[in-house]
Amino acid sequence: MEHEVKEIKKGIKFHTLNTDKFKTNLFAIFLSTKLDRENVTKNALISMLLRRGSRTMNSQEEISKKMEELYGASFDCGLDKTGDNQVLKFYIEAINDNYLPQHNENILKIVIESLLEIVFDPYIENDGFKKEYLEQEKNNVKQRIEGKIDNKARYSLERAIEEMYKNEPYGLYKFGYIEDLDKINEKDLYKYYIDLINNCKIDIFLSGNLSDDVEKLIEENENIKNLQEREPQFEVPKIPEKKDIKENIVTESMEVTQGKLVIGLNVNIDNDEEKYWTLMYNSILGGSANSKLFQNVREKAHLAYVASSTYYRFKSIIFINSGIEISNYDNALELIRKQIEEMKQGNFTEEEIDNSKKGIIAAINTIDDEQDTGITYYFGQELAESNVSEEEYIKKIENINKENIVDIANKVQINTIYFLKD
Amino acid sequence: MQIIENLKVKEKLYIEKLQNGLTVMIVPKPGMKKKYMIWGTNYGSNDNKFIVPGEQDVTEVPNGVAHFLEHKLFEQEDGTNSLDTLTALGVNANAYTTNDHTAYLFECTDNFYEAMDELMDYVQHPYFTDENVEKEKGIIGQEIRMYDDYPEWRVYLNTLEAMYHENPIKIDITGTIETISKIDKDILYKCYNTFYHPSNMAMVIVGDFVPEELLKEVKKRLVKKEAAGEIKRIYPEEKEEIVKPEIVQKLEVSNPIYTIGIKDVKKCDNKDKNELVKKHISMEILLNIIFGRSSKLYQDLYKEGTIYGEASLDYEFGKNYSHVLITGMSSDPRKVFKAFKERVEELKNNGVDKSDFERLKKMIYGNYVREYNDVQDIARMFLSDYFKGICSFDYLEEIEGINVEYLNQVLKDVFKEDKMVLSIVENG
């Protein structure tokens, strides 16, 4: 897979991933903007409103019919929190022309034009979004916010993040806040949208079996021509400042049969290189079936079915997740603490290190074989303003030794212990 | 090996039934680094009552044995666990149990043959002791509890409860804490010996391979087994009627979650594979015409704020069951149900719109093509279709021949009001 990137205008980049491995082409537009309390709900609303209609496709029904007509091109939107940024993501995945029953259609061209129109030329009435659409999407956003509680494991994780980042951008919920909704009207929101489009970082991705003229197709598109140059307003992930923290223990009650224990860890790294070490640390602690958490909490003590940890490299934090019998809280917590301690003492083997390396390298090797993963990888690089190829990434992992991992283990500090019980 | 080629997606399937009865399917993917291997047995949570080949009496086992076996097979006699061994190789290993099959799998980029050694070794060498069986009850117990808190899983199981009287499809795949407490190593061995015979199993491998050479590698790793007779599976008679039209459970959720279920009692002749496939495709087109993103029903309910997003639209079928499941979130599930029934009646009276039909047929075709992007999707699809007696390529071939008349007939056969149920999970 060839990754090429071109700055079309200042602040707007076009990335191509040329590959013949897939039956589909994947076209994506990402808008990145700083997370802040004032605009978080507006951004969520915009990401939902843009799906409702564009200049020539005035309703969701028209958009859907057009996509269905294109052999079920799938149009999708996402809203992500990546470091201290809120990222609005728009995708269309469509069958490559080689796999159509008739060969005379140029689906990719229509796909590109449609998505650019949806994102940059929305349906407007009287200098504002359509009021009816806005009211419906407010209802939708409200439901998303209230829906936080439906998946108890995800809810517990969100709560732990909120506790760890009180009054900080990263503690914000990506769908925003219900109390904001009443204050937002269709005209002001449209003004805000113009502002967003003029200042956010824009990344356009196209992955698939591409012809040479795709670049022209993008650059000569009217919607692209209308975009201004900008100094993109987004947050490049920094090495977090070290803070001396006290463990914060939070317990909440809800109607659950299984308790959810989430532990948030700060990893006080000194430089970017240590992010790779932390990835290895996390893998040994709770990143796989061979990890300390899985082996000790699940396999030996039989306390849980889920016992794992996840590393969030943009914020240099790790979350430990487990679902346990509520009465086993003390046992489970003690056992988890013990695993963190074991890591500090360096009580893990060369074999565990090798195994973790193999697992991580295998994951890097699959990037080329998954269309969306390829895009996610290069977008992550883009946002971090780094340019590490897959080969270099693998080399960095191969070069990590035990001292590096113990070094990280001693930079790990428990920040928040969150427990959801009945 | 027999080669079946599909020109639409430009893929080839190599298939062979070995002498011991095992079916091996290989889909070569030149240029892909990812490789995927899955080995399954035609044995799932539905198979609780059966006659072991060579025996006279019926064997009946507690619910949840197939899933319990799935967990326990990883255990090796030397004290190691095959999941650990596979993970240590840098491969991504897993297993799952459905109502009609159990499968063991891994995905990798390197160490394929080492991983294959391990997978084929542990699936063919069970090792159960009183102690390791007891230990697993704690872990599976937490898995069961985890699902107890998933509203989507509850609403699904309740739908089946409302549709079926006796059919084992309604049994929770994991069993319950009570039923798994009765499982011991003798039960596990008996089920293993009955259902893990090569003649009851199939294997799919997808990746950059030369099929004939790969087949040799598979054969080398097979343990010799005596030919086995046919397993007689006993499924209870199921009435055509539903159990009850509505079922409600209270759980802490932000908004009610609902499933509309339709018990499909118009039995397809399972021997006629083309008919099964055609019906499945038609159901997918129909469900999208009725309640897909572009449908009037969806648009109306969305605009008035009754629903917030798309419902998932599924038609599930197996040897002895078939049903429709429509699941979503709504402020008023009963209103959705009522509007749905009205829309179905309207369509039955007026017939399906031709342009809707043509458009959604194109969409479904595109969805099938897309299944061939990823080694995992391909492998899982071929395995689960195989156990239903279907070759996955058939979907790409049969879709062409489906017309509006056929669709209207299926609509009348399946969407009967007295076969519909509504399951709701809401705040108590």
Residues B263 and B224 in one domain: no
Out of A136, A358, A369, closest to residue B33 by CB = A369
- Listed in sequence order, the DSSP H helices in B93-229 are 112-124, 130-148, 151-163, 177-180, 185-195, 211-220
Model confidence over B205-216: pLDDT tens digits?
Answer: 999 999 999 999
Residues B157 and B261 in one domain: no
- Which residues does residue B41 pair with via DSSP β-bridges, in sequence order? B102, B201
Q: Chain B: nearest CA to A245, how far in angstroms?
A: 32
By mean pLDDT, which of A295-309, A408-422, B151-165, B388-402 is the weakest? A295-309
> Measuring CA to CA, which residue among B363, B4, B324 is closest to residue B156?
B324
Task: Tally Cβ neighbours within 10 Å of residue A320.
Answer: 24
Q: Is residue B91 part of a domain?
A: yes
CB contact under 8 A, A70 and B139: no
Model confidence over B30-48: pLDDT tens digits?
Answer: 999 999 999 999 999 999 9
CB contact under 8 A, B254 and A148: yes
Q: Residue A105's pLDDT band (boundaries 50, 70, 90)? A: confident
Looking at residue B396, what is its pLDDT? Answer: 96
Residues B219 and B293 in one domain: no
Out of A139, A258, A304, closest to residue B149 by CB = A258
Residues B296 and B199 in one domain: no
Q: What's the domain range around B256?
A: 246-426
Residues A56 and A194 in one domain: yes
Residues A50 and A199 in one domain: yes
pLDDT of B149 > 90? The answer is no
Residues B70 and B130 in one domain: yes
Q: Is residue B99 part of a domain?
A: yes
Looking at residue A101, what is its pLDDT? Answer: 80
d(CA A91, CA A359): 29
At which of B171, B200, B233 does a domain end? B233
Q: Which residues of A touch B8 (CB under 8 A)?
A: 99, 101
Task: Tally Cβ neighbours within 10 Å of residue A253.
Answer: 9
d(CA A118, CA A178): 26
Cβ-based contacts under 8 A for chains A and B: 173
Burial class (CB in 10 A: 0-12, 13-18, 19+), A286: buried
Residues A374 and A281 in one domain: yes
Q: Which of residues 99-138 of A touch B (CB under 8 A)?
A: 99, 101, 132, 136
Which of A143, A146, A256, A361 is the best substitution to test chain B (most B C-beta atoms within 10 A)?
A: A143
Q: Is residue A239 part of a domain?
A: no
Q: Residue B273's pLDDT band (boundaries 50, 70, 90)? A: confident
Helix (H) or strand (E) holding A75: strand A74-82
Is B81 an interface residue toward A (CB < 8 Å)?
Answer: yes
Backbone dihedral region for residue A72 (phi beyond 0: left; psi -120 to 50: alpha; all else: beta): left
| Annotation says B16 is catalytic | no
- Amino acid letter, residue A374: G
pTM over 0.90: yes
Residues B97 and B131 in one domain: yes
Q: Is residue B238 part of a domain?
A: no
Residue of A nearest to B358 (CA): A69
d(CA A28, CA A226): 19
- ∠ CA A403-A404-A406, rounded to 5°: 65
Q: Is residue B240 part of a domain?
A: no
Residues B172 and B36 in one domain: yes
Residues A193 and A259 in one domain: no
d(CA B187, CA B209): 39
pLDDT of A240 > 90? The answer is no
Which of A23, A300, A360, A364 is the best substitution to test chain B (most B C-beta atoms within 10 A)?
A: A23
Which tokens sit at A155?
Answer: 């809810």
Asked if A250 contacts A416 with a C-beta cutoff of 8 angstroms, the reply is yes
Model confidence over A10-36: pLDDT tens digits?
Answer: 999 999 999 999 999 999 999 999 999
Which of B294, B357, B358 is the best substitution to test chain A (most A C-beta atoms within 10 A)?
A: B294
Q: Is residue B239 part of a domain?
A: no
Residue of A nearest to B370 (CA): A23
Looking at residue B176, what is its pLDDT? Answer: 94
Residues A299 and A213 in one domain: no
Q: Is residue B57 part of a domain?
A: yes
Q: Provide the 3-class DSSP secondary structure of residue A11.
A: coil
Looking at residue B321, what is its pLDDT? Answer: 93
At which of B233, B261, B280 does a domain end? B233
Residue of A nearest to B304 (CA): A136
Is B222 an interface residue toward A (CB < 8 Å)?
Answer: no
Helix (H) or strand (E) holding B352: none
Looking at residue B269, what is its pLDDT? Answer: 63
Out of A93, A258, A303, closest to residue B146 by CB = A258
Mean of pLDDT over chain B: 95
